[in-house]
Amino acid sequence: MMVAFCVSTPFVFGALSATASISYVVFSFFILSFFSNLGREIVQSIHDMEGDS
């Protein structure tokens, strides 16, 4: 979850530095990138289970 959060935060920080506010569009990009990256990390963890054991 930490990796997904770190990948998603640039959208928030970029919006805050440019406009000093977070719009619904930026929040939507944050949520979409967070969950898509979280899903990728989960799939990669499942894929690596065989090698980890």
Residue 53 lies inside a defined structural domain of this protein? no
pLDDT tier at 50, thresholds 50, 70, 90? confident
pLDDT at 2: 95
Look at residue 21 and tell me whether its pLDDT is greater than 80: yes
Please report where in the chains the tokens 């690596």 appear, as a residue: 48
Q: What is the mean pLDDT of residues 1-30?
A: 94
d(CA 38, CA 17): 25
Across the chain, what does the average pLDDT equal? 92
* Separation CA 48–CA 7 (nearest Å): 21
Is residue 12 domain-resident?
Answer: yes
Is the model's pLDDT at 53 over the cut of 90? no
SS (H, E, C) the chain: CHHHHHHHHHHHHHHHHHHCCCCHHHHHHHHHHHHHHHHHHHHHHHHHHHHHC
Residue 51 lies in a domain: no
Number of compact structural domains in the chain: 1
Lookup: tokens for 15: 């919006």
Give me the domain span that covers residue 28.
2-43
